[in-house]
């Protein structure tokens, strides 16, 4: 909910409700006096003026509803125009009362639910990670899902640098090593970071980025994959999701990196 001034919103909704109630009272008076039921809004009589105020206020109330109660807003604040459905503002009155309840209880709801932080959508993780984990995840095997995702990242990294002779954490030490590529030992480089600084020396940004990727890759496999592979305890869902998120970051770095195999003969 993104209402800057809930008190002002409550005041306007309350005014909307008062007008609708006034319209109902006037209709009942009309019916009691034997006058025919016909109302299209506008007019010079009192009920016509009330309906005009309701219609002028209606767009504001609908806008508030879209922010406060978007899944229920729709067209509930519109007046029915057919005699068969009876008094036209009944649904609008109920909807407005619901808005009042939501706004009045928002502070209590926030205290119960706590602050709303960003949500991590598992389906938006890097495809190497999620494609390997999704079936196990959906069946509740969170530990196995993490292991499968880690294996997939390892395999994709091995394929990218064409190295079948290294495995696990060592792959990332080789892939992001600061040493120049050699025959049979290509490297991964971040294409958006210039290697050389103005002085002709390697830039600190380039060094930090590749050392960081190397250390992060080793950390993921020593601290996530290896511990989960050799441990016996189940992995809680939240911790498993955090592990997948870390592996997803690593997968994106590997996937986005450029292969530098200038040392190949």
User: Tens of pLDDT along the chain (265 residues)?
Assistant: 567 788 898 999 999 999 989 988 888 887 775 554 444 444 458 888 988 898 899 889 888 888 887 766 556 776 665 444 456 777 888 888 888 888 888 767 777 766 666 777 788 899 999 999 999 999 989 999 999 999 999 999 999 999 999 988 999 999 999 999 998 899 999 999 988 887 788 999 999 999 999 999 999 999 888 776 666 677 888 899 999 999 999 999 999 999 998 754 4
E strand or H helix at 187, and its extent?
A: strand 187-189
Burial (CB count <10 Å: 0-12, 13-18, 19+), residue 263: middle
pLDDT of amino acid 95: 86
pLDDT at 43: 44
Please check whether residue 186 is in contact with residue 161, taking contact to mean a CB–CB distance below 8 angstroms: yes
Query: Whole-angstrom Cα distance, residue 78 to residue 66?
Result: 14
265 in any annotated domain: no
Can you tell me the distance from the alpha carbon of 184 to that of 74, in angstroms, rounded to the nearest whole number? 63
Q: Is residue 45 part of a domain?
A: yes
Assess whether 160 and 35 both reside in one domain: no
Q: Do residues 11 and 132 share a domain?
A: no
Domain with 97 in it: 6-113
Per-residue model confidence (pLDDT) at position 37:
41
Instruction: Looking at the structure, tell me whether residues 185 and 209 fall in a common domain.
Output: yes
Predicted local confidence at residue 28, as pLDDT: 82
**Residue after which a domain boundary falls, among 113, 141, 157:** 113
Cβ atoms of residues 122 and 244 within 8 Å: yes
Report pLDDT for 38: 45
Residues 81 and 204 in one domain: no
pLDDT at 39: 43
- As for how many domains the chain has, the answer is 2
Give the per-residue pLDDT at 259: 95
Distances (CA, A) of 255 to 129, 157, 248: 12, 8, 10
Say yes or no: 143 and 107 in one domain.
Answer: no
Residue 86 lies in a domain: yes
pTM, full prediction:
0.58
Residues 191, 195, 197, 200, Cα dihedral to 10°: -140
- Which among 113, 143, 175 is the end of a domain? 113
188 and 79 fall within a common domain: no
Last residue of a domain, one of 88, 113, 138: 113
Please indicate, yes or no, whether residues 31 and 80 belong to a single structural domain of this protein.
yes
């Amino acid at each position: 909910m993104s209402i800057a001034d809930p008190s002002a919103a409550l005041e306007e909704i309350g005014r909307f409700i008062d007008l609708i109630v006034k319209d109902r009272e006037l209709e009942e008076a009309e019916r009691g006096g034997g006058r025919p039921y016909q109302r299209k809004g506008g007019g010079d009589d009192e009920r016509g003026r009330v309906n005009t105020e309701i219609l002028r206020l209606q767009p504001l109330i609908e806008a508030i509803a879209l922010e406060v109660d978007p899944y229920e807003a729709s067209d509930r604040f519109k007046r029915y125009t057919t005699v068969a459905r009876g008094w036209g503002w009944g649904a609008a009155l109920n909807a407005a009362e619901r808005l009042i309840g939501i706004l009045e209880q928002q502070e209590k709801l926030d205290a119960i639910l706590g602050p709303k932080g960003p949500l991590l959508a598992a389906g938006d993780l890097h495809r190497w990670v999620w494609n390997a984990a999704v079936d196990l995840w959906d069946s509740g095997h969170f530990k196995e899902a993490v292991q499968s995702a880690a294996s997939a990242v390892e395999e994709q990294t091995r394929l990218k640098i064409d190295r079948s002779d290294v495995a696990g954490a060592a792959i990332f030490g080789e892939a992001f090593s600061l040493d120049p590529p050699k025959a049979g030992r290509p490297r991964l480089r971040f294409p958006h970071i210039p290697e050389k600084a103005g002085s002709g020396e390697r830039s600190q940004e380039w060094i930090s980025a590749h050392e960081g990727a190397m250390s992060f890759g080793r950390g993921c496999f020593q601290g996530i994959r290896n511990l989960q592979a050799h441990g016996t305890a189940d992995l809680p869902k939240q911790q498993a999701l955090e592990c997948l998120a870390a592996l997803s970051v690593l997968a994106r770095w590997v996937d986005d990196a450029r292969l530098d195999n200038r040392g190949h003969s």
